[in-house]
Chain A
Amino acid sequence: MKKAEVRQGTLALMVLRTLQVLGPQHGYGIARRVEQISGDLLAVNQGTLYPVLLKLEQEGAIASEWGASENNRRARFYRLTRQGQKQLRAETEDWEQTSAIIGRFLRAKAEDLL
């Protein structure tokens, strides 16, 4: 359970970042981008992206509307809202801080910890 939560949190951050870099995207576009960057994170279960999208939308970090996809079919496009921008900034900082601390911690020698 713990693992899944971390995953979802990570995935949410990736979604926000993707939308920031690429602008409005449909679900498949986001999945493709996440796959490109992260390798196998989404390779098996692309569908798990959708609960994350719904959650972000409920939180107001992203908004969605129908639009035309590359081949002119109806697709749902997601875009970052102003609140989402803020959230992304805050979470990025958080994440960098955490990873820095964890990194330092893991690098530390045994005697430093005593």
Chain B
Amino acid sequence: MNALRRFAARLGHSAAGRHDDQRFRDEMEEHLALQTEDLVRAGLPPEEARRQAMLRFGPVQPLREQLHAQRRMLPLESLVLDVRFGLRMLAKSPTFTAVAVLTLALGIGANAAIFSVVNAVLLRPLPYAAPARLLSVSEGQPKAGIAEAGLSWPAFLAMQDRNQVFSAVAGLPIHALTLTGRGEPDDVSTVAVTPEFFSLLRAKALVGRTLAPEDGREDAAPVAVLSENLWRSRFGADPAIAGRPIMLDQRAFTVAGVMPAGFQTPFVSQADQVWIPLAQDPLFSKWRTRPPATHWMLPVIARLRPGLSLDQARAELQTLSAGLASQYPAEQGWQAAVEPLRQAIVGDVQEPLLLLLGAVGALLLIACANVASLLLTRATARAREMAVRMAHGASRTRLARQLLTESALLGLLGGAAGVALAWGGVSVLASLLPADLPRPHPVRVDGAVLGFALVLTLAASVIFGLAPVLQAFRADPQANLKEGTRAGEGRSSRRARKVLAAGEIALAMVLLAGAGLLLRSLARLESVGPGFVTDHVVKANVSLPRLQYTKPDQWTAFMKELMTRLEARPGLQDAAIVVPAPIADPAVSLPFSIVGNPPLPPGAAITADFVSAGPRYFRAMGIALLQGRVFSRDDTASTPPVAVISASLAKRYFPHENPLGRRLTFGFPPQGNVARKIVGVVADVHDVSLARKPGPMMYVPFSQAPLWGGDVVVRSRLSTQEVAAAIQAATHSIDADVPVTQIASLPGALQVSVARPRLQTLLLGLFSVLALLLAAIGLYGVVSFSVAQRTREIGVRIALGATPAGVRRLVIGESAALVLWGLAVGIPSALLLAHLLSAMLFGIGPADPLTFVGGALLLSVVAVVAAWLPARRAMGVDPMAALRNE
């Protein structure tokens, strides 16, 4: 304490200069005296000697001014002093420092971690040249409620012609082709692109070349471009790969080049990729020449010409769609639309991410309130020190700077610890992120995240640092200097601490309500039955190479043979082929019409989800038959086309009649115009996701709507591995070159579909628990400090006959009042903010009473617990000791 006082004195007088001036005058006096004596010794009379001495010394006043100016500390020097002093003060109270730093570290760390995801997904520009001008183009039927998805081929060609608006347009359908010849046959993600694709994204090859315009011609030799990852894993990074042949779906392609690993196709996240010209694609190339009787959803990207706005592009597309509609009847009702490519890639994750960022922001505010409250407590204890310094002449600005430096130091320590926390947290977070979260960049702590953390740290330091400064400014140095008075807390400071504590409760309530809503929603979601049996069901994708298996008859025959071989094995009787499998695969929505009903006006298409399934599918998946029959082996390509519909289709489109015997016209292209007789009605299933209500669905026998591949689903008591091995063995016993991929148990596939809500709930839950903890600590601090301050009053009360229970009531009552204030602000705010969550909730409303009552109760319980310890201390106050102390 002695060193501290000396230091404070030094700070005080160096700023005032009074002390130094005195020293100079003393020195000058002695100087003149000695000089005078010397001159007297030399023979001058004392009067004259004194006059001479003063003359030789020179003018005094300018000298004093010069010294004064010289003594004023340079800003940098005073900063160094402040920092050193601040560090010493922090080291002096290690508990305070540790609590404050840890609190801030939690707040800043959580913010930095979430920001690193926001930065990677939402903020950093896409990894392409001039990404702001990249667009995604698609057609939809806004009137019929059909969402935009891809372009038809004529629309694509028409867009390529509008080159005064779009400098380049490229189509990129994505599917899997079978790569054979090197090791196990495997599906690789293949992007069939028009050659403009690479130049549009301004991407350069790592080895060899990308596609040239000539490669897009029908009669060109088939070429392929490999991804660096595939080149390394499958071709041993062969530097002379360009010009070598590879086999895709049993067809030879010449490798043109290799793309660097940093190059990603928009919408595709697989590291193993092949790019081939669209004209060479075994599936899509044929579709180009077909008349657009049905819609082909070709994903299209475009680059807007410089200087043109998005609105101009939209206007251009409006005229384009109008032109197409007059030319092709099938285009009627379709409207082409553009959106920035980033938006198309990032899709619907923006809202949940910003929500999480808001949640961690609230967490940081709570942390700041806590630290501010701690600093206020300390400011009370240090009131004397401040008064001493002011008495020594330290100016208020000087003291404010000192206090703010201390706060900034605290903030920086907290920020550094927070970044360390984020560093560790981000890798965990990145591994938790759902696989389907679009990530144009890796999620990590980079410069932007560090900058964000620094800005947050400084902002937080100012926020919580202002409290003690204001407190110090209000302090009356006279009162604080008086010997014997206890350093007491001013009324305004006590009120400030109470407001802070109530504010923390309010923020914690908001976070708790948000987390509670998500948790309840997740519980509802997970309790939803998907409408089919998932236990013991394994699915595996079997896809036939299209060049070898060209005819639909071959597809049917292969799958029939596969089922026969599977069923021959014990325990694998319930096996079936299905495309697409519910939830595990994206649903296919197709337009349909009811035979006998008046034709719909153009643009008013009705759609239902389409499934092509084998006879045993409904049995294997446990989908109940409600009416009529399911498919049998007797439904073949040569028998009349039949269909099974779902209960909701029956209810919506045949509300007052028996649908059996009616006919629907629909089919997977090119069989869109086949009329199929309804033979059965089955129960609804969640085919898109658990969160989406089952919509109308229509099933056709695989034999009447065969595809080149599909999912084999098997319900069996055997383990997933055994079933997978059996499927593989059966497939390869027919054709060793057919790949079996995407093997999963259906419960696993369901888990993936709830991964996103689960992660959101986990994170928001974690943050709200932290918020609750911090708010409890804050409340504990306020109440226990107030007990310490009121020891005397409590002593008097006890002396006057207050019972321990009464004292406890007094203390807990104080805490309860704070909680009530906090809830009074927090619950309405939470109700307002919960509406932002509406879109993410399933099965409950944003004002779910259970959540709010539960949250408020939880907070109240925590508040009572936080006040319990100080209350016990208050009950134990010895009235004599308390009174004597004063």
Among the 9-residue stretches A9-17, A23-31, A82-90, A103-111, the one with 4 or more Cβ atoms under 8 Å from chain B is A23-31
Q: How far is the CB of A87 from chain B (nearest CB, A)?
A: 18
Q: How far is the CB of A66 from chain B (nearest CB, A)?
A: 9
> A58 vs B67: C-alpha distance in the bound complex, in angstroms?
12
> A46 vs B58: C-alpha distance in the bound complex, in angstroms?
6
B58, A28: Cβ atoms closer than 8 Å? no
Residues of the B chain whose Cβ atoms lie less than 8 Å from the Cβ of A70: 34
A101 near B: Cβ within 8 Å? Answer: no
A6 near B: Cβ within 8 Å? Answer: no
Residues of the B chain whose Cβ atoms lie less than 8 Å from the Cβ of A26: 27, 30-31, 34
> A48 vs B27: C-alpha distance in the bound complex, in angstroms?
13
Q: Which of B24, B34, B35, B59 makes the CB contact (< 8 A) with A50?
A: B24
A44, B70: Cβ atoms closer than 8 Å? no
B34, A69: Cβ atoms closer than 8 Å? yes
B28, A47: Cβ atoms closer than 8 Å? yes
B30, A69: Cβ atoms closer than 8 Å? yes
Residues of the A chain whose Cβ atoms lie less than 8 Å from the Cβ of B28: 47, 50
Q: Which of B30, B37, B56, B67 makes the CB contact (< 8 A) with A44?
A: B56
B67, A51: Cβ atoms closer than 8 Å? yes
A22 near B: Cβ within 8 Å? Answer: no
B35, A54: Cβ atoms closer than 8 Å? no
Q: Which of A43, A51, A54, A58 makes the CB contact (< 8 A) with B56?
A: A43
Question: Which residue of A is nearest B33, CB measured?
Answer: A73
Residues of the B chain whose Cβ atoms lie less than 8 Å from the Cβ of A51: 63, 66-67, 70
Known: A54-B70, A58-B70. Contact between A76 and B57, CB under 8 A?
no
Task: List residues of B (19-65) whose CB comes within 8 Å of A's CBs.
Answer: 23-24, 26-28, 30-31, 33-35, 37-38, 56-60, 63
B70, A28: Cβ atoms closer than 8 Å? no
Interface size on A, residues (CB 8 A): 24
B35, A28: Cβ atoms closer than 8 Å? yes
Question: Which residue of B is nearest A49, CB measured?
Answer: B31
B71 near A: Cβ within 8 Å? Answer: yes
Q: Which of A47, A54, A75 makes the CB contact (< 8 A) with B57?
A: A47
Residues of the B chain whose Cβ atoms lie less than 8 Å from the Cβ of A48: 58, 63
B27, A50: Cβ atoms closer than 8 Å? yes
Query: B105-137 CB contact bits vs A (8 Å, 1 = yes)?
Result: 000000000000000000000000000000000
Residues of the B chain whose Cβ atoms lie less than 8 Å from the Cβ of A7: none
> A45 vs B37: C-alpha distance in the bound complex, in angstroms?
18
> A29 vs B38: C-alpha distance in the bound complex, in angstroms?
11
A74, B30: Cβ atoms closer than 8 Å? yes
Q: How far is the CB of B517 from chain A (nearest CB, A)?
A: 63
Known: A46-B57, A47-B57, A47-B63. Contact between A28 and B71, CB under 8 A?
no
A28, B31: Cβ atoms closer than 8 Å? yes
Interface residues on B, range: 20 to 34
B37, A54: Cβ atoms closer than 8 Å? no
Q: How far is the CB of A79 from chain B (nearest CB, A)?
A: 15
Q: Which of A27, A43, A44 makes the CB contact (< 8 A) with B31?
A: A27
Task: List residues of A (24-62) whose CB comes within 8 Å of B's CBs.
Answer: 26-29, 31-32, 43-48, 50-51, 54-55, 58
Q: Which of B26, B37, B58, B67 makes the CB contact (< 8 A) with A76?
A: B26
- Tell me the total A-B contact number using a CB cutoff of 8 A: 63
Question: Which residue of A is nearest B27, CB measured?
Answer: A76
Residues of the A chain whose Cβ atoms lie less than 8 Å from the Cβ of B27: 26-27, 50, 75-76
Residues of the A chain whose Cβ atoms lie less than 8 Å from the Cβ of B31: 26-28, 31, 46
> A76 vs B34: C-alpha distance in the bound complex, in angstroms?
13
Known: A47-B60, A71-B37. Contact between A28 and B30, CB under 8 A?
yes
Residues of the A chain whose Cβ atoms lie less than 8 Å from the Cβ of B34: 26, 28-29, 69-71, 75
> A31 vs B27: C-alpha distance in the bound complex, in angstroms?
13
Residues of the B chain whose Cβ atoms lie less than 8 Å from the Cβ of A45: 56-58
B63, A50: Cβ atoms closer than 8 Å? yes
Residues of the B chain whose Cβ atoms lie less than 8 Å from the Cβ of A69: 30, 34
Q: How far is the CB of A39 from chain B (nearest CB, A)?
A: 14
Residues of the A chain whose Cβ atoms lie less than 8 Å from the Cβ of B33: 73
Residues of the B chain whose Cβ atoms lie less than 8 Å from the Cβ of A74: 26, 30
Residues of the B chain whose Cβ atoms lie less than 8 Å from the Cβ of A47: 28, 57-60, 63
Which of B23, B56, B66 has the largest number of chain A CB atoms within 10 A?
Answer: B56
> A26 vs B314: C-alpha distance in the bound complex, in angstroms?
87
Q: How far is the CB of A35 from chain B (nearest CB, A)?
A: 9
> A76 vs B20: C-alpha distance in the bound complex, in angstroms?
12
Task: List residues of B (755-810) whose CB comes within 8 Å of A's CBs.
Answer: none
> A29 vs B60: C-alpha distance in the bound complex, in angstroms?
19
Q: How far is the CB of A14 from chain B (nearest CB, A)?
A: 17
> A47 vs B37: C-alpha distance in the bound complex, in angstroms?
17
Q: How far is the CB of A108 from chain B (nearest CB, A)?
A: 39
Q: How far is the CB of B53 from chain A (nearest CB, A)?
A: 9
> A70 vs B59: C-alpha distance in the bound complex, in angstroms?
26
Task: List residues of A (64-102) whose CB comes within 8 Å of B's CBs.
Answer: 69-71, 73-76
Residues of the B chain whose Cβ atoms lie less than 8 Å from the Cβ of A75: 27, 30, 34
Question: Which residue of B is nearest A31, CB measured?
Answer: B31
Q: How far is the CB of A70 from chain B (nearest CB, A)?
A: 7
> A43 vs B55: C-alpha distance in the bound complex, in angstroms?
9
Q: How far is the CB of B72 from chain A (nearest CB, A)?
A: 11
Residues of the B chain whose Cβ atoms lie less than 8 Å from the Cβ of A46: 31, 35, 56-58
A76, B70: Cβ atoms closer than 8 Å? no
B30, A50: Cβ atoms closer than 8 Å? no
Residues of the B chain whose Cβ atoms lie less than 8 Å from the Cβ of A29: 34
> A44 vs B34: C-alpha distance in the bound complex, in angstroms?
17
Question: Which residue of A is nearest B60, CB measured?
Answer: A47
> A47 vs B268: C-alpha distance in the bound complex, in angstroms?
81
Residues of the B chain whose Cβ atoms lie less than 8 Å from the Cβ of A50: 24, 27-28, 63, 67
Residues of the A chain whose Cβ atoms lie less than 8 Å from the Cβ of B58: 44-48
Q: How far is the CB of B56 from chain A (nearest CB, A)?
A: 5
> A28 vs B26: C-alpha distance in the bound complex, in angstroms?
12
Query: B162-198 CB contact bits vs A (8 Å, 1 = yes)?
Result: 0000000000000000000000000000000000000
B63, A76: Cβ atoms closer than 8 Å? no
Question: Which residue of B is nearest A75, CB measured?
Answer: B30
Q: How far is the CB of A34 from chain B (nearest CB, A)?
A: 12
Residues of the A chain whose Cβ atoms lie less than 8 Å from the Cβ of B38: 32
Q: How far is the CB of B96 from chain A (nearest CB, A)?
A: 34
> A15 vs B473: C-alpha distance in the bound complex, in angstroms?
44
Residues of the B chain whose Cβ atoms lie less than 8 Å from the Cβ of A28: 30-31, 34-35
> A71 vs B66: C-alpha distance in the bound complex, in angstroms?
30
B30, A73: Cβ atoms closer than 8 Å? yes
Q: How far is the CB of B447 from chain A (nearest CB, A)?
A: 39
Residues of the A chain whose Cβ atoms lie less than 8 Å from the Cβ of B23: 76
Q: How far is the CB of A63 from chain B (nearest CB, A)?
A: 14
Q: How far is the CB of A74 from chain B (nearest CB, A)?
A: 7
> A76 vs B63: C-alpha distance in the bound complex, in angstroms?
18
A54, B30: Cβ atoms closer than 8 Å? no
Which of B30, B66, B70 has the largest number of chain A CB atoms within 10 A?
Answer: B30
> A45 vs B59: C-alpha distance in the bound complex, in angstroms?
8
Query: B323-354 CB contact bits vs A (8 Å, 1 = yes)?
Result: 00000000000000000000000000000000
> A55 vs B70: C-alpha distance in the bound complex, in angstroms?
7
> A29 vs B66: C-alpha distance in the bound complex, in angstroms?
22
> A54 vs B63: C-alpha distance in the bound complex, in angstroms?
12
Q: How far is the CB of B75 from chain A (nearest CB, A)?
A: 15
> A32 vs B63: C-alpha distance in the bound complex, in angstroms?
19
> A51 vs B71: C-alpha distance in the bound complex, in angstroms?
9
Q: How far is the CB of B681 from chain A (nearest CB, A)?
A: 96
Residues of the A chain whose Cβ atoms lie less than 8 Å from the Cβ of B63: 47-48, 50-51
| A-B interface, 4 closest residue pairs, ranked by CB to CB distance from nearest | A45-B58, A47-B58, A28-B34, A28-B31
Q: 28 A-B Cβ contacts within 8 A?
A: A26-B27, A26-B30, A26-B34, A28-B31, A28-B34, A29-B34, A32-B38, A43-B56, A45-B57, A46-B35, A46-B57, A47-B60, A47-B63, A48-B58, A50-B24, A51-B63, A51-B66, A51-B67, A51-B70, A54-B67, A54-B71, A58-B70, A69-B34, A70-B34, A71-B37, A73-B33, A75-B34, A76-B26
Q: Which residues of A contact B (CB under 8 A)?
A: 26-29, 31-32, 43-48, 50-51, 54-55, 58, 69-71, 73-76
| Besides the known contacts A31-B31, A47-B28, 4 further A-B residue pairs in the complex with CB atoms under 8 A apart | A50-B28, A73-B30, A73-B33, A76-B26
